[in-house]
Amino acid sequence: MESKEFFGKFLSKYLWGNLLAMALTVVLICVGVKYGLDIYTHHGEGVPVPNLTGMDFNRAADLLERNGLRIVVSDSGYNKRMPAECVLAQSPGEGTNVKQGHTIYVTVNSPSSPTVAIPDIIDNSSVREATAKLTALGFKLLEPQIVIGERDWVYGIVSRGRRLNAGDRISIEQPLTLLIGSGEYDSVGSDIEVTEPEDVHFDTQETDDFEEVTMPE
């Protein structure tokens, strides 16, 4: 076969038609796969998440259900300025497009303030250490009460007139008062001199002299 004849067949309409058909087939397959996946996964379709913050939990659950979404309480918090059982936070946030059936996680306001255990700081910490631990737990501290003892040492905790112990659980809304040492000590009894009694020796060798008396016959 001459080269001229070979190139003539190569450049023939039939060959180019086959190549074009193959290319179109590949393109159609790729496009079909893409759109097929989009249809199967509902790509580009979604439900915007409504704003639930501040809404009563039951009302929020009804709203999400009408939109084909689910609600799950993931955590609870406490905000005394907000109504009990209302939504404090949500995830995903407002306006996020999600698929129907998606779960929205919410944080709900507790009806009462949480209680926290008093840490082991009584007669075990300085005022600086105790203050850091208590404020980190969310407690509010009042002016400390000064007592006799080592300076800046915590000797007790009082709340609403009650002496607290380590492990007691109280509301973080209750303010605490620390009993702090003044650096002065009670000296009563410290200057009392104790005197040991002197030894008393008895002479066991001494005896009383008795005069014998003879009765008359």
What are the pLDDT digits (tens) for 59-117? 999 999 999 999 999 998 888 889 999 999 999 999 999 998 999 999 999 988 888 99
Q: How far apart are CA 10 and CA 105, in angstroms?
A: 65
CATH classification (class only), 115-181 = alpha beta
DSSP line for 59-83: HHHHHHHHTT-EEEEEEEE--TTS-
Tokens of 79: 């905000």
Q: What is the pTM of this model?
A: 0.49
CATH 1.10.260.40 is right for the domain spanning 47-109: no
> Pseudo-torsion of CA 133, 139, 142, 144, nearest 10°?
-30
> What is the tens place of the pLDDT at every residue in 137-179?
989 999 999 999 999 999 999 999 999 999 999 998 899 999 9
**Of 196, 182, 99, nearest in space to 147 by CA:** 182
Look up residue 86 and give its DSSP letter.
B
